């Protein structure tokens, strides 16, 4: 059959409404062949990118008009180190507030080159919305660059009194890695705290690795000043003593000041037990006296005071004879 005849016959085919619905449903299913699946994924990816591009445009327009746009939470991504600290009890209050009230402050975002948006501020609001089962959240485009956002979060966290010293150390270490050209004095000037406190925070780095593992599990365990003292002791060869002190601190057997004193104290070697010699002098079946000696000490215990008095002179005379014999 020629192609022309085939096309002519195909043109005369008419589907019922029921057959047309069935064909449409089949077309909507995911392709089963590898090439078909690839084409399906590409089409889906292009559709998602179109949606993100649309949101970018809406965000830009909203920014110019001072408004906000609903963005799917699945399109929001967190940049490590940018999240600002919030105490657990304050986060619980925030979540409960958002459960019953509108979001007043939109999440601030920046477009990502790989698609979606990175959060500049509003991490906890986004977390709360996710926990509440929401799918979108109001967002606005930020003015700051990604680098400015990172530094802003770092400095805010460093000054946050609720943050533990170990958490501040982690942020400070990350900041130093990203800005190796800055000295401690420059960092202190940026943050507004003393160089000595910067040094104290960085002293966590000088603690033994086993100690830092304990601190990773309990970041509130040790303050910067105590860490600085323990770091000096560890570098002086007392790493084992420092580790034991921090372990006792974690077990709540010591507080911080006691842990430092414990690590500082010298470990005295255990004294060897003194060997003793014991024997008894008997009179028949009865013990007349007990004799105990250790090193240069001898103790004689008689059964009665009368016996002790009766032999005192004899013992003295015998000892005097021994002393005289030593001279010759």
Same domain for 130 and 212: no
Contact 141, 77 (CB under 8 A): no
Of the residues 234, 267, 300, the one at which a domain ends: 267
Report the CATH number at residue 56: 3.90.1530.10
Give residue-wise pLDDT tens across range 287-313: 888 999 988 899 999 888 888 888 888
Same domain for 131 and 49: yes
List alpha helices for the chain, DSSP H.
3-11, 17-28, 34-65, 88-100, 123-131, 146-159, 165-178, 184-191, 195-202, 209-217, 224-233, 239-250, 256-264, 305-327
Contact 76, 109 (CB under 8 A): yes
Same domain for 50 and 124: yes
* pLDDT score of 15: 46
Same domain for 214 and 133: no
CA 248 to chain centre: 19
Of the residues 144, 178, 206, the one at which a domain ends: 144
| 204 three-class SS | helix
Task: Give mean pLDDT, residues 51-57.
Answer: 69
Tally Cβ neighbours within 10 Å of residue 195.
Answer: 14
What total of structural domains would you count in the chain?
Answer: 2
Give residue-wise pLDDT tens across range 214-269: 999 998 999 999 999 999 999 999 999 999 999 999 999 999 999 999 999 875 55
User: Does any domain span residue 8?
Assistant: no
User: Does any domain span residue 228?
Assistant: yes
Of the residues 267, 283, 313, the one at which a domain ends: 267
User: Does any domain span residue 156?
Assistant: no
Residue in 48, 73, 76, 59 with CA at minimum distance from that of residue 136: 73
Give residue-wise pLDDT tens across range 130-170: 999 999 999 988 877 777 777 777 777 666 667 789 988 98
Rounded Cα–Cα distance for residues 290 and 282 (Å):
9
User: Does any domain span residue 272?
Assistant: no
| 328 three-class SS | coil
Residue range of the domain that includes 247: 195-267
């Amino acid at each position: 059959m020629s192609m022309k005849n085939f096309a002519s016959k195909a043109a005369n085919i008419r589907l019922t409404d029921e057959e047309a619905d069935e064909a449409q449903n089949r077309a909507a299913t995911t392709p089963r062949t590898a090439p078909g699946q690839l084409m399906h994924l590409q089409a889906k990816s292009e559709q998602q990118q179109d949606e993100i591009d649309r949101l970018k445009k809406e965000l830009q327009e909203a920014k110019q008009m001072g408004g906000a746009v609903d963005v799917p939470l699945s399109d929001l991504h967190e940049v490590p180190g940018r999240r600002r600290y919030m105490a657990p009890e304050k986060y619980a209050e925030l979540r409960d507030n958002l459960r019953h009230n509108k979001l007043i402050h939109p999440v601030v975002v920046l477009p990502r080159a790989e698609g979606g948006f990175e959060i500049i501020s509003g991490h906890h609001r986004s977390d709360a919305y996710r926990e509440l089962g929401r799918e979108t959240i109001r967002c606005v485009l930020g003015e700051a660059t990604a680098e400015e956002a990172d530094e802003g979060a770092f400095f805010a966290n460093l000054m946050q009194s609720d943050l533990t010293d170990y958490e501040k150390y982690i942020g400070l270490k990350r900041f130093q890695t990203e800005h190796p050209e800055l000295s401690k004095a420059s960092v202190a000037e940026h943050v507004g705290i003393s160089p000595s406190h910067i040094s104290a925070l960085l002293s966590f780095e000088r603690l033994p690795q086993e100690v830092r593992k304990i601190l990773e599990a309990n970041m509130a365990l040790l303050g910067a000043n105590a860490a600085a003292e323990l770091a000096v002791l560890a570098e002086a060869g007392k790493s084992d003593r420092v580790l034991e002190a921090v372990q006792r601190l974690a077990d709540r057997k010591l507080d911080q000041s006691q842990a430092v004193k414990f690590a500082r104290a010298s470990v005295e070697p255990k004294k060897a037990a003194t060997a003793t010699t014991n024997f008894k002098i008997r009179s028949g079946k009865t013990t007349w006296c007990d004799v105990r000696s250790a090193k240069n000490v001898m103790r004689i215990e008689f059964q009665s005071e009368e016996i002790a008095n009766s032999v005192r002179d004899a013992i003295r005379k015998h000892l005097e004879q021994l002393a005289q014999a030593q001279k010759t």
